[in-house]
């Protein structure tokens, strides 16, 4: 049973196959073309076990995607939080964590609401929702956090989208993805250099440049890698959450109606959207020693994939797990990760989702899907690339 081929996911996540494997081979060996295969970890408890044991399952050794990367590419990305193991990960994350706490992020809500209202005021009638609406807000929010000039927000968004669409020829087009990511890193390095010559501002860039990471200041090159990951994560996953969320609500009109009647249900709806349509299918780890998961022997050097799309539908954790339910409680989904790599921007993502749907539903009493949605060709990104919508005031 193939769960690797990116083409399989164009029609939507392969939930029936995952459900079958959870019951028969929950630690499943998947071959890959042209390189060693990987162990797909499909149960909620086993994904949590891998996430909580970074000494045994490393993000740094082989990176976080299934395809093996050249040594020079791994070296270029080693300053991304996503690809650090403790204690280095802890040293780099700790100085930032205070500034992403719920209280601090809560102070940004007024600005996020203002940006959301401006965005929704600019659209009416027929729109391609993924890129014309859902993709715009995150780049504005993240751009503001870093103090990036508004004129550069479209470039940031473009680079972020390119970096996560590498398996879809239509989205990548003629772009050289490595070259595009290099442009983003060069932009960040130059931005860092320019900001060092200025008075500090109240934004994330000044915070990072003034901080100590691993006992020393961050270099401009290190800032480039750091910036690339945080900006990409803040853009693309939020875009996916907003667009997939609207599609799900339109497919479940009774639940959409409930949200309109009682907006207090929106935070729970955001959590269920994240569980049901998690933005990323998986992240990889690499075993650092011989071990086993659920009795299945894993050798040192083996790839191990934490498959969130399967874990979020685990029947042992979620009652009626294939049902979309905005009132689901509790909802211990794994879409933000777990343990050391639990999403740094979790409070920002939740707040953006809540504010966006509050404003969208208040502003447009009639929202209609007017054509088929199209999905990204990817076994990593669980997202839409187009969603034609009619918005009526």
Pick the more confident residue, 62 or 234.
62
Which candidate, 176, 188, 272, places its Cα nearest to that of 223?
188
Task: Say whether domain 71-281+331-392 belongs to CATH 3.90.45.10.
Answer: no
Residue 316: the pLDDT is: 98
User: For residue range 163-182, what is the model confidence (pLDDT) as tens digits?
Assistant: 777 788 887 766 676 777 78
Residue 306: the pLDDT is: 98
Residue 171: the pLDDT is: 78
Copy the structure tokens of residue 72.
Answer: 């020079």
pLDDT at 325 over 70: yes
Q: How far apart are CA 46 and CA 27, in angstroms?
A: 9
Domains of the chain: which residue ranges? 71-281+331-392
For the chain, give the percent of residues with pLDDT over 70: 99
Residue 99: the pLDDT is: 84
Strands 388-392 and 366-369: antiparallel
The Cβ-side half-sphere exposure at 273, using a 13 Å CA radius, reads 31
User: For residue range 213-222, what is the model confidence (pLDDT) as tens digits?
Assistant: 888 998 998 8
Mean pLDDT of the 138-159 span: 91
The reported pTM is: 0.95
Pick the more confident residue, 340 or 181.
340
Copy the structure tokens of residue 37.
Answer: 């295969």
Q: 348-367: b or e for each residue (b if 16 or more CB lie within 10 Å)?
A: bbbbbbbbbbbbbbebbeeb
Residue 175: the pLDDT is: 63
Residue 364: the pLDDT is: 97
Q: How confident is residue 61, by pLDDT bands cut at 50, 70 and 90?
A: very high
Mean pLDDT of the 71-76 span: 83
Residue 14: the pLDDT is: 96
């Amino acid at each position: 049973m193939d769960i690797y081929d990116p083409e399989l996911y164009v029609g939507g996540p392969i939930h029936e196959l995952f459900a079958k494997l959870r019951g028969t081979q929950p630690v499943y060996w998947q071959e890959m073309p042209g390189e060693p295969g990987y162990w797909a970890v499909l149960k909620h408890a086993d994904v949590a076990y891998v996430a909580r044991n970074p000494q045994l399952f490393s993000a740094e050794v082989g990176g976080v995607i299934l395809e093996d990367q050249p040594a020079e590419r791994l070296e270029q990305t080693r300053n991304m939080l996503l690809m650090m193991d403790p204690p280095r990960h802890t040293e780099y994350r700790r100085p930032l964590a205070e500034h992403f706490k719920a209280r601090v992020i809560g102070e940004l809500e007024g600005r996020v609401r203002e940006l959301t209202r401006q965005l929704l005021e600019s659209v009416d009638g027929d729109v391609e929702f993924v890129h014309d609406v859902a993709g715009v807000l995150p780049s504005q929010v993240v751009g503001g956090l870093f103090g990036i000039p508004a004129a550069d927000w479209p470039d940031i968004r473009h680079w972020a989208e390119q970096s996560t669409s590498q398996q879809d020829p239509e989205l990548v087009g003629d772009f050289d993805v490595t070259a595009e990511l290099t442009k983003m890193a060069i932009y960040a390095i130059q931005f860092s250099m320019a900001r060092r010559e200025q008075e500090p501002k109240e934004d994330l860039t000044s915070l990072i440049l003034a901080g100590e990471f691993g006992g020393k200041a961050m270099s401009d090159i290190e800032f480039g890698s750091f910036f690339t990951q945080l900006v990409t994560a803040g853009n693309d996953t939020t875009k996916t959450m907003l667009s997939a969320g609207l599609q799900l609500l339109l497919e479940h009109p009774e639940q959409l109606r409930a949200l309109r009647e009682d907006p207090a249900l929106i935070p729970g709806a955001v959590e269920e959207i994240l569980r049901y349509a998690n933005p990323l299918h998986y992240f990889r780890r690499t075993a650092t020693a011989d071990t086993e998961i659920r009795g299945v022997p894993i050798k040192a050097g083996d790839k191990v994939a934490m498959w969130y799309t399967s874990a979020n539908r685990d029947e042992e954790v979620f009652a009626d797990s294939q049902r979309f339910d905005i009132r689901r409680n509790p909802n211990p989904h794994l879409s933000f990760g777990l343990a050391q790599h639990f999403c740094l921007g979790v409070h920002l993502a939740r707040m953006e989702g809540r504010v966006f749907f509050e404003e969208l539903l208040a502003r447009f009493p009639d929202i209609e899907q007017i054509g088929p949605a199209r999905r990204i060709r990817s076994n990593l990104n669980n997202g839409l690339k187009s969603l034609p919508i009619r918005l009526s005031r």
